[in-house]
Structure 1
Amino acid sequence: MDKLKAGPLLRLLCLVCIGFALPVPVFAARPANVSIGALFTFDSVIGRSAKGAIELAVADVNRDASVLNGTYLSVVEQDTKCSGFLGIIQGLQLMEKKVVAVVGPQSSGIGHVVSHIVDELRIPLLSFAATDPTLTSSQYPYFVRAAHSDLSQMAAVADVVTYFSWREVTAIYVDNDYGRAALDALGEQLQSRRSRVSYRAPFPPGAGRAAFTDLLLRVSMMESRVIVVHASPDSGLGIFAAAHSLGMMSSGYVWIATEWLAAALDSSSSVSTVGMLQGVVTLRQYTPDSDAKRSLMSRFSQSGMNAYGLFAYDAVWMAARAIDQLLEDGSNVTFSDDARLVANGSTTRLRLGALKVFDQGEQLLGKLTTLVNFTGVTGRALAGPAYEVLNVGGTGVRRVGYWSNATGGLSVAKPDADAGEANQQLHSVIWPGQTSRRPRGWVFPNNGKALRMGVPYRTTYKQLVSRDASGPDGASGYCVDVFKAAVSLLPYPVPVAYELVGDGVKNPSYGDLVQRVADGWLDGAVGDISIVTNRTRVVDFTQPYQLSTGIQGLDGLIASSDPIGFQVGSFAKSYLMQELGVPESRLRELAINDYAASLQNGAVAAIVDELPYVQLFLSTNCQFRTVGQEFTKSGWGFAFPRDSPLAVDLSTAILTLSENGDLQRIHDKWLSPGQCASSDANSVGADRLSLSSFWGLFLICGVACFIALLIFFFRTLRQYFRYHGHAANEVDPDAFPPPVMDAGGSTVAGRMSARRPARLTSIRDLMTFVDMKEAEVKRRKKMMNEDSSSGSRLDRSAGPSSSSFSPV
């Protein structure tokens, strides 16, 4: 019996033992508290906004039951005090407190250092204000950008510069990682749009009013008046205060500030601050309107919320959602020692042993990078960057447009995922000086340096351009006078220094002269420089001031096999070979002094050259002449470095010279015909048509016109007499008024007393008839014929008594 009772009990014990031996799934309990860190400067424009936003976000997360599911989120804040050194120390102390993620840092420089730390400790870093483009996830795997980088912002600035057709800008920037990286990005963006940063003006972090004044004095001496300011919200306003006191916020200047200025104005836009910023254009990161955004702004209205605060708020929510997903997957939150930090007793001296590696950091990083559909108060996370373009004026700012990377540029419409390409349009801007007229954007530099203009030292045909030892400029000629006249029309003074290029023995190479301009050895080149494609690729030219070249009678010349001459250094060789297909074996390079001999001895059948050279040659060599028609080419121009604003202004001045006749007067002064002027009609102009060439045609046309006139006159007279004959047969009752009785009882016809000379009446009738149209004449003749026939019938039916009358 005891054995029977013991059996079931034994079997039960065995089952229990087997049950303990089987694996049982274990679920980690959610931690009661999870901490994140926040690293920024408390007492700063960005920091004050970020601090309030972070604390509001943590409170909102803890109130939301759908996030973290009972796990309390806490934040540990560390103040970097705008110091790189203290930022490193505060970052290390923050890691000691076992935070699973860090929101920040505010500074790009601190971001570089702290990124190295979090990479080793596997703690994700969510930056809401470090916009340095070189802070990338490829270099720092645990760096997660929660705001757009300056790469997109500088693209927006470059588009604004391009939209207003400016080619050069002066960049004022803080000399640290944040400023230097942004400036490099701006230079690349401008270069892709054929613009450039012409002058860089860095200032050290923490610079004061005196440093800003010295910097702006240097800026005022530069050529560009388009100034881009990239600073921090705390130091940037000092630049504008100094500019205002120096009179640099006046008409003619263009000030473009990056998004730091909008953050400063959003935080505290006092009347005095706005007053010194009149006409400034700035950017602000675009965040779409939403109920969540409006609610947050209303709760934060007392402290001044800016765009950085909005991104900090969203960064906390991103961290909270990623932690929630990590815990939902059953992961725990644990930390472990790093063996490298405790080696050789280093923990005793630096307490590095307190730094722990976050075991689940890689998993949390993966959750953060997959939150592409997260939508916060700034819109959808990781969406395409967009900016508002703002203009400071009056007592605040007004929006003049938007820039969006998704739509490809500037637009007056809000950025929208479904919108088409941007129309590259902005509303009108009120610039400094209270003007809506677009500033030119540059002035001639006020630094005492004259414009260095290269002049070819020609040895032949010095009427065009060459050395002039007796003159004050050291150069003279047709081209130099054209340049001087054009410069005199500019609305600003341009001091010029002429530098001769050449040895005075032979004409210099104009290709080498243009290359010196392209390489920066010269500021420009004056002379008979032909505008051809290979030169326009390296420099800019002004409006051509000689529009025709002397390429004559090409068709017959090309069809033959005769040799063709061209001037040494002329573009005619490349033109004949590349565009007209003339083989090089037929071309002969000649000096101008050899033209006459080469044509006389048959060395060449013809010479192809530019019209001014041809005119000068023919003025002293009467036995030669041009044949065929002139060939139009680009002409001559002054060479300037690429995108030089002087090229545009001087082109306008040359057009003015052409319109007012000064260009022709300069031409006549230097290039007027010489001793062959009297024989031009028999030699140079022998193949040209004149009025005398058409005397036969004029005679035939004159005789034909005279005969046609006679025919018309006789035909008109014939029609008039026929018309007058019909009119004479008509009886007008009004022509004979009733007779009246005089005192003697005799009858007097009243009409006879008003009789006019018949000749005068006939002449006037003829003139009236000539003015009448032929169709009108025919119509009246037809009516008179019909009236005449009708009157005859009435007379026959009435009888003789019907037309008689008896006086009373």
Structure 2
Amino acid sequence: MPRSILLIFLLFGVASAQNATGRGAKELHVGVILDLGSLVGRMARTSIELAMEDFYAVYGNYSTRLVLHVRDSMSDDVQAASEAIDLLSNYKVEAIIGPQKSSQAVFISDLGNKSHVPIISFTATSPSLSSSSLPYFVRATLNDSAQVTSIASLIEAYGWREVVPIYEDTDYGRGIIPYLIDALQVINARIPYRSVIPLSATSEQITLELYRLMTMETRVFIVHMSSTLASDLFIKAKEVGMMNKGYVWIMTDGVTSLIESLNPSVVESMNGALGVEFYVPKSKGLDNFTTRWNMRFQIDNPTDGTSKLNIFGLWGYDTIWAVAQATEKVGLSNARFRKPGVTKNSTRLEDLETSSTGPGLLSAILQNKFRGLSGNFDLQYRQLEGSAFRIINVIGKGGREIGFWSAQNGISRKINQTRLATAHSGSAPDLNPVIWPGDSIEVPRGFEILVSGKKLQVGVHTSGYPEFIKVEKDHITGATKARGLSVDVFEEAVKRLPYALPYEYVIFGSTEDMTSGSYDDFIFQVYIKKYDIVIGDITITYNRTFYVDFTVPYTESGIAMVVPVKETVNKNTWIFLKPLTPGMWIVLIVWLCFLLVLTSSYTANLSSILTVQQLQPTVTDVRELLRNGECVGYHRGSYVKGVLEELGFDRSKIKPYDTPDDFNNALSMGSNNGGIAALVHEVPYIKLFLAKHCEGYTMIGPIYKSAGFGYAFAKRDPLIGDISKEILNITGGDAMIRIEKEWIGDQNNCQNMGTITGSGSLTLGNFRGLFIVTGVASTSSLLIALGIYLYKRNKRSAKVMQQYIETQQEQGIDGENNEPEEGAGCRRVEENIQPTAGIEGNGQPIQRHVAEHLSDRSRQTSTVMQNASNIIHRGERTTDLQTEPI
């Protein structure tokens, strides 16, 4: 745009301001202290001038008007204080806007307390400025502590565990550090080193500090300093090779907000860095103002043509509006002020007068809320509250937006994303892709293992169970060798890392006694930095986490019991009745339609009961051991002893043992014979014990929860995350099955977990009750059948005799009388049967006839009875025996 047009805009603004002044408005003098030699100071001055023009162009009818007195602090704290005293003493200003730096604001705010003049700074961001000790200080900007949560979320999203802050040695630089440390502790990240750079540092000093950082393993750096010092830092970082692949640079708002205004060579050296800055919502008014601001800034600062409006310029603009509105609200009827004199004849602090307008003006500023160019402008808490930050990736000549952070949504790709989230929620996939230093698209690990001849010292300790870890010294080479399940898992995890990890084993304890020392002492060697890592069958416990960090466990967790088992073959005589309840037996009788189903169910259930041999544990609950006063065993040196004491066991009932054979012998003896009733041990050891002593024992529990076995690292060691990830990969695949099979054996061959079952042989005793019932039923049936037979035979004989007599009577054998008297028939039969002396010839034929007849009947009866007997023996039922009539 031609320079002439810019001058027209400028003259128009000045004319508007003069028109407003000419209406007789009452003036309120306001001091402005800026560092006009800095980029931020020059930007802020342009914004303030435009704010004055715009405000009184809109509110030209106001009865009050601000009169600004701009002063240059020359980036010096003493100069800033001197200018503030001059403004208060000689110009009787009712408010001071500024100063620019946090270090300057401390003393000037004390002057404001003394004179009751509000001090409003839109650039002093240090958290060390507290409104409780400085009641007249108002921060029209964000506290630096507001951005630490967004930075911590970014670090957590990418999984970095260590960061190094690089900050300037000023109140501004130091103020953020305590809040940054607290935010990082929440996400379990730490600061191993702080790099403090003085404002007066030379290029050589900066280079020397960068070389020191390169000798460390951490590769994540947070830069918090002025744009001038940050420019020198990044140029040197690129020269020494710290802007290559593998490095991470994160810039705070103070640098990020000025990216587009820095020298292109500086921005190029920052390529790949991330930055966070306060998010400013877009609006039409902001676009229009930005255009006007760019034109005015080019006129005022022709040598800063590449500079662009940033958030500090917007806050300066909104601050003028806030003060002007508060001034109109309070009014100046009781204000005491005077016009500046020609000379500055007094700068003594004791000559400072107390403002009568200041308290009311401060209250009006704090109560004023409006929608400014920077967004919602609300100073009720004596500072602005940040709700969202923009995350950028420096690429080319500027910053590319990769996402946002907000208190409501955490990290997200879009600012208006609606989802419930915690302050630290979000992950790397929630952001747009990043081009990292060295033009890499691979997310840096955040640390580098230094391999300059130094190997990681891995402490090893021979276990009481050599299957887990056994350590020995090579007498020829002197090297330490370790083998076992714990060693194989560790070496497999290291082998799978995407980078080389040189290490060597170091024996814990003396060479003569490699098992000396407890496991707590063993782990403590990491805390005192004797070892970098310790591996083995190390149980992850709560008290140990106070001085080391553990990987995820590579074994199962918990403490359980090993107890003997007893055979419980069911020898109940009436066991065959158990498959059905008494009620079911009666169903069985009534509803014969279910006979087939019930018979099948009965057969299956009964066969299961009779053919399964059950092995039950002798003890099923640890409290049972306590009640009975039983002795229990544990592995000597294990923390299990403390667990047993916490459960209530008397120390005299707790016996230590060293080897699995010792456990076996003690369990075989039993508690009453000098042994133990149960072995209380960790689950991995119990599985190993049962793999060797399958018969006769079982596991009960777990009775106590623990985290399993893991490897111990120094607190917040960055290797923990990578090793843990590989351990999860191993334990979830075939590799762990192969390792366990090699060292523990095939655990499927012995299933001694809980109740053990196995098939047994059937004996006569199993069916004793059934045999008794069958015998009783058979004998009873035989006796009943015999009784029925005899009864019917006698009855049948009597019937035959009766029929014969009646036949003879019908034929007249008994004489002429056809109706013999009672008993006559019997007598006649007897008489006819008896031989008669007087009738010898006639008597013999009759007697012979009767005898032959009876003999034939007897034979017929005998034949019928024999047939009946045969029918009975064949199991056939008959209701009546048919005979031929006589």
Partner of 1:531: 540
Partner of 2:676: 604
Matched, 1:426 2:431: yes
Q: How does 1:65-104 map to 2 (within 5 A)?
A: 65-66=59-60, 68-69=62-63, 71-96=64-89, 97-104=91-98
Partner of 1:443: 448
Tell me the CA shift for residue 332 of structure 1: 1.6
Q: Could you tell me whether the CA contact under 8 Å between 2:556 and 2:684 is conserved in 1?
A: no
Partner of 2:415: 414
Tell me the CA shift for residue 309 of structure 1: 0.8
Deviations 1:696-747 (A, max 9, x none): 9xxxxxxxxxxxxxxxxxxxxxxxxxxxxxxxxxxxxxxxxxxxxxxxxxxx
Partner of 2:708: 635
* Aligned with 2:52 (options 48, 58, 63): 58
Q: Could you tell me whether the CA contact under 8 Å between 1:552 and 1:630 is conserved in 2?
A: yes
CA distance in 1: counterparts of 2:644 and 2:677, whole angstroms: 15
CA distance in 2: counterparts of 1:180 and 1:452, whole angstroms: 36
Three-state SS of the structure 2 residue aligned to 1:36 is: strand
CA distance in 1: counterparts of 2:751 and 2:733, whole angstroms: 32
Tell me the CA shift for residue 401 of structure 1: 2.1
Q: Could you tell me whether the CA contact under 8 Å between 2:126 and 2:175 is conserved in 1?
A: yes
Partner of 2:654: 588
CA distance in 2: counterparts of 1:136 and 1:211, whole angstroms: 33
CA distance in 2: counterparts of 1:198 and 1:611, whole angstroms: 37
CA distance in 2: counterparts of 1:286 and 1:349, whole angstroms: 44
The two structures have a TM-score, normalised by structure 1, of 0.70
Please identify, of 536-545 and 123-132, the stretch whose mean Cα deviation from structure 2 is larger.
536-545
For 2:136, give the aligned amino acid.
Y
Tell me the CA shift for residue 107 of structure 1: 0.9
Q: Could you tell me whether the CA contact under 8 Å between 2:149 and 2:183 is conserved in 1?
A: yes
Give the direction of change, closer, same or farther, for the CA distance of 1:498–1:178 in structure 2 (3 Å limit).
Answer: farther
* Aligned with 2:105 (options 97, 106, 111): 111
Partner of 2:31: 37
Three-state SS of the structure 2 residue aligned to 1:414 is: coil
Deviations 1:563-594 (A, max 9, x none): 1101123244466677xx67456852414055
Partner of 1:649: 722
Deviations 1:64-113 (A, max 9, x none): 435742x4422222222222333333333333332211111111111122
Tell me the CA shift for residue 213 of structure 1: 1.8
For 1:645, give the aligned amino acid.
P
Q: Could you tell me whether the CA contact under 8 Å between 1:525 and 1:638 is conserved in 2?
A: yes
For 2:272, give the aligned amino acid.
G
Percent of matched pairs sharing the same residue: 30
Partner of 1:300: 293
Q: Could you tell me whether the CA contact under 8 Å between 1:459 and 1:466 is conserved in 2?
A: no
Give the direction of change, closer, same or farther, for the CA distance of 1:55–1:46 in structure 2 (3 Å limit).
Answer: same
Tell me the CA shift for residue 144 of structure 1: 0.1
CA distance in 2: counterparts of 1:448 and 1:135, whole angstroms: 48
CA distance in 1: counterparts of 2:535 and 2:368, whole angstroms: 62
For 1:638, give the aligned amino acid.
Y
Partner of 2:328: 324
Partner of 2:193: 199
Q: Could you tell me whether the CA contact under 8 Å between 1:518 and 1:539 is conserved in 2?
A: yes
Q: Could you tell me whether the CA contact under 8 Å between 2:526 and 2:534 is conserved in 1?
A: yes
Give the direction of change, closer, same or farther, for the CA distance of 1:132–1:549 in structure 2 (3 Å limit).
Answer: closer
Three-state SS of the structure 1 residue aligned to 2:490 is: helix
CA distance in 2: counterparts of 1:37 and 1:448, whole angstroms: 62
Q: Could you tell me whether the CA contact under 8 Å between 1:392 and 1:398 is conserved in 2?
A: yes
Task: Point out where structure 1 has 5 or more consecutive residues left out of the alignment.
Answer: 1-28, 337-346, 674-679, 697-808
Deviations 1:200-225 (A, max 9, x none): 11111132332222222222222222
Q: Could you tell me whether the CA contact under 8 Å between 1:30 and 1:327 is conserved in 2?
A: no
Partner of 2:208: 214
Larger RCO, structure (CA 8 Å, separation 6 or more): 2
Give the direction of change, closer, same or farther, for the CA distance of 1:104–1:689 in structure 2 (3 Å limit).
Answer: same
CA distance in 2: counterparts of 1:683 and 1:409, whole angstroms: 49
CA distance in 1: counterparts of 2:374 and 2:752, whole angstroms: 82
* Aligned with 1:398 (options 389, 396, 400): 400
* Aligned with 1:279 (options 256, 272, 289): 272
For 1:222, give the aligned amino acid.
M
For 1:410, give the aligned amino acid.
I
Give the direction of change, closer, same or farther, for the CA distance of 1:592–1:331 in structure 2 (3 Å limit).
Answer: same
Three-state SS of the structure 2 residue aligned to 1:49 is: helix
CA distance in 2: counterparts of 1:172 and 1:354, whole angstroms: 43
Tell me the CA shift for residue 443 of structure 1: 2.1
Tell me the CA shift for residue 378 of structure 1: 3.6
CA distance in 2: counterparts of 1:334 and 1:357, whole angstroms: 11
Give the direction of change, closer, same or farther, for the CA distance of 1:331–1:68 in structure 2 (3 Å limit).
Answer: farther
Tell me the CA shift for residue 229 of structure 1: 0.8
Q: Could you tell me whether the CA contact under 8 Å between 1:524 and 1:638 is conserved in 2?
A: yes
Q: How does 1:110-259 map to 2 (within 5 A)?
A: 110-259=104-253
Tell me the CA shift for residue 155 of structure 1: 1.4
Give the direction of change, closer, same or farther, for the CA distance of 1:441–1:389 in structure 2 (3 Å limit).
Answer: same
Give the direction of change, closer, same or farther, for the CA distance of 1:64–1:548 in structure 2 (3 Å limit).
Answer: closer
For 1:178, give the aligned amino acid.
Y
Three-state SS of the structure 2 residue aligned to 1:332 is: coil
Tell me the CA shift for residue 232 of structure 1: 0.8
Three-state SS of the structure 1 residue aligned to 2:270 is: coil
Matched, 1:565 2:629: no
For 1:324, give the aligned amino acid.
E
CA distance in 2: counterparts of 1:639 and 1:321, whole angstroms: 63
Q: Could you tell me whether the CA contact under 8 Å between 1:119 and 1:141 is conserved in 2?
A: yes
Three-state SS of the structure 1 residue aligned to 2:66 is: strand
Tell me the CA shift for residue 184 of structure 1: 1.6
Partner of 2:260: 266
Q: Could you tell me whether the CA contact under 8 Å between 1:318 and 1:374 is conserved in 2?
A: no
For 2:129, give the aligned amino acid.
L
Tell me the CA shift for residue 45 of structure 1: 2.1
Three-state SS of the structure 1 residue aligned to 2:280 is: coil
Give the direction of change, closer, same or farther, for the CA distance of 1:149–1:612 in structure 2 (3 Å limit).
Answer: closer
Tell me the CA shift for residue 549 of structure 1: 7.9
Give the direction of change, closer, same or farther, for the CA distance of 1:360–1:550 in structure 2 (3 Å limit).
Answer: closer
Partner of 1:369: 366
Deviations 1:452-478 (A, max 9, x none): 444346688597244637464546342
Deviations 1:533-580 (A, max 9, x none): 5545764333434448894556643345331101123244466677xx
CA RMSD after TM alignment? 4.1
CA distance in 1: counterparts of 2:757 and 2:67, whole angstroms: 98
Matched, 1:357 2:354: yes
CA distance in 2: counterparts of 1:313 and 1:681, whole angstroms: 81
CA distance in 2: counterparts of 1:156 and 1:658, whole angstroms: 35
Three-state SS of the structure 2 residue aligned to 1:239 is: helix
Deviations 1:10-67 (A, max 9, x none): xxxxxxxxxxxxxxxxxxx997432211112112121121111112222333434357
Three-state SS of the structure 2 residue aligned to 1:526 is: strand
Q: Could you tell me whether the CA contact under 8 Å between 1:453 and 1:524 is conserved in 2?
A: yes
Tell me the CA shift for residue 359 of structure 1: 3.0
Tell me the CA shift for residue 629 of structure 1: 4.8
* Aligned with 1:494 (options 491, 501, 508): 501
For 1:649, give the aligned amino acid.
D
Give the direction of change, closer, same or farther, for the CA distance of 1:66–1:250 in structure 2 (3 Å limit).
Answer: same
Three-state SS of the structure 1 residue aligned to 2:227 is: coil
Q: How many residues align?
A: 641
CA distance in 1: counterparts of 2:693 and 2:699, whole angstroms: 19
CA distance in 1: counterparts of 2:142 and 2:751, whole angstroms: 75
Tell me the CA shift for residue 625 of structure 1: 5.7
Tell me the CA shift for residue 595 of structure 1: 4.2
Give the direction of change, closer, same or farther, for the CA distance of 1:126–1:465 in structure 2 (3 Å limit).
Answer: farther
